[in-house]
Structure 1
Amino acid sequence: MSADPRPGDDTRLVRRAGFAIAAQIAVAVAATLLVVGVLTYSLTIRAEHTAEERAVRQAAVAARDVTDPGGGVVLIEQLADGQVRASDDAPADLAHLNVRAVPIGRSARRVGSRDYEVFAVDHPDGRRFVAMLDVTLRRQTGVRLIESLLWAGVVGVVGAALLGVVFGRRAVRPLGRALDLQRRFVADASHELRTPLAVLHTRAQLISRRLSRGAGPDDGYVEAQVGQLVADTRALGEVVDDLLLSAELQGRPGVGALVDVADLVHDVVRSVRPHAGERGVTLRAAVGDDGPLVVLGVRSSLRRALAALIDNALGHTHPGGTVTVHAGRGAGGVELAVEDDGEGLDPAQAEQLLQRFARGPEAGGRGRRFGLGLALVREVLHAHGGSLTIDGHPGEGARFAMTLPTAGTPHR
């Protein structure tokens, strides 16, 4: 029973790899933003802070009085007798400052609603000078800068994570395709081995029955069947090579050799006929006599495509029915058609039937069932530049026609 494949452990591993890449990208972006933030803060706020410290220190050390300290610095002087004087631009809040309570050297002080950078120095004559610089705006700017950097970091990390998911999926997509191709190879090989093995099993059974009835070594039937058995065994070895050749043909359409379609039809029909006989179905070939039928391609690939169509027809033809393989010239080139008088199908379902693991609609409890066969046929035809046409009606049989470009007369 065919079923849609479900994601396995390898699919989950591919997804995990994509998320791991996304996480690594997010961490890398976060680290980059952190470094940029630290550098930005150091080059702006820290640089301004250093300049402020230098300004108040120089003003306090060089002061001789409180007049015009410049640079936005306010000077406050306390004489030896306790009298306090301030520069003309000193805010009113500083008039009540206890100068003696200000520690010598650099400090920071909040007066009212303003923040100041402070530097105090005692002169040898007993006077104390305090230089003060309003840094409220710089501190507010620093807080806003830190907040902005934090928000930018959060947004950047989230954005990087989202982009990382996208890029991570793109990065692991080739790996996913490789794993998918691996699964498809296993499925294709398993499917393609099924029909040759069934034919071999049938032929071996026929030989065994013949021998059990006392057939002698000179029996021509046994000899012919053994010879065909060898040919069928060789066909099994060609399956894997055929998959590789088909892949090469898709990558390089010019690869291939001239294939005699008439000879191919007779070869496949001769090989599958005993299997059809075991099912009680008559299998016959009908090759046109309107000249050589030659195409450019991979013989083993075309052979398995035709065998898949015949196998599909045999599986849906009742005992006593007939499957006919036609070969001749058509409007688009060489046409290979497999026609049966079995259960039939609805042509409206043709495109669905060509999908991998598709199943035909149920009809009276016995519907046409499809797995990989028709999908593989379409892939072979696509590689050969051909097409597949499906026709039929429920209960009136079906016709599958492969059309391939004509290549000309084969070399002798």
Structure 2
Amino acid sequence: MRRPTSLTAAEQSRLRRTSRALGLQTALLVLVCLAVVGAVVVLVVVQGQRESGENRLEAATRSVDDVRDAPAGTWVAIDGQRGLEVSDGMPEGLPDLDVMAEVTRSGTEVRSRVEAAGGTYSVVTAPSRGGAVQVVLDPHEAQEELQRLVAALVVAGGTGVLLAGLGGAWLGRRAVRPTVEALALQRRFVADASHELRTPLTLLSTRAQLLRRHVHAEDAVPSGSPVLSDVDGLLEDTRALTSILEDMLVAADARSVDRSPVDVAEVADAVVAAARATAADRGVDLARTGVTSAVAEVSAVSVRRATTALVDNALDHAAAGVRVDVERTGGMLVLRVEDDGPGVPDAQTDLFGRFASHRPAPAQDGRTHYGLGLALVAEVAAQHGGSVEAGPRADGSHGTVITLRVPVRAPRDR
């Protein structure tokens, strides 16, 4: 039996917010559905009441010959040989004597709606035995029935929406919790791994510093020797790796990005300088083009990680050359890494997905590629509100261009 993962207070709070949001969305969806169904039901009932009323009026005008025989829910007025007779309780303002006189003269039935005391009434006036009969429909019974129906729909609908919201929140919590637990395990693994690597990395950095002191202190290494620059590069790489581990710890603890003004062009220069040895070993010409300064509000460590991943990916695929270009276009900072490799197959749509590598394991360089580098670039782009895309080279030659775009300024909280 799987043991549930204990969640931190922040993760519990995030889980509660998510379940509440799902419950609210479920309740709103049910509310909309019930509103549509209720409107249809009311329209059908109103139409049925109208047809029923018309039928009652029609039947009454043809059958009634005495005001005391008026059907329930109607009033009758008869103008005949005995003069004008009116049902008890006829609303004030009725009957409409002018219409009755007109029907008596013309012999033609007239249907009308009359505004009188208490509301609007449907009236049918028809000729009858040398005179006229007028039947008035009482609308109050239909209105009361409609009000009861609407009240029942509101009560039942409100109860249904409340139960749907509670049920949606409960089901949403059960459905989302495994995902939250999986993300929590992932963050804890990253945090633990990063924390455990800090100690050996600190020792490595200390050894690199001691080596640098010995190399610079002893006369055995002549001035200008590449050994001196390699030792300095080794020390710089250990510092960069330390920064990456710190960034991984921050990412495992919170999903926010710690932004500051960073010259991305300088970051690209540092990454290119660090990769020149690898490029030379593979016989690839690594060049840096574009502007010499481009400041943006980004996470320096995250952008360096993304740039390193792009350059490393380009070196893995390049035949003879890789170009790293930095420019600023409007409010976006654009980093392009171009290689002259085989290009991206049209069928490969998961280029920026995790474990999306389609190269054999191990590859020609002896390493196993897991397909995490470009996924890291996509994550950095998403964290900064930017984008990343891959496409063919602009000159139409073989190769791939991967473009990373991030806003120059961080979005401000409203």
TM-score category of the 2 structures, normalised to the smaller one: 0.3 to 0.5
Q: Give the TM-score taking structure 2 as reference length.
A: 0.46
Larger radius of gyration: 1
Q: Give the TM-score taking structure 1 as reference length.
A: 0.46
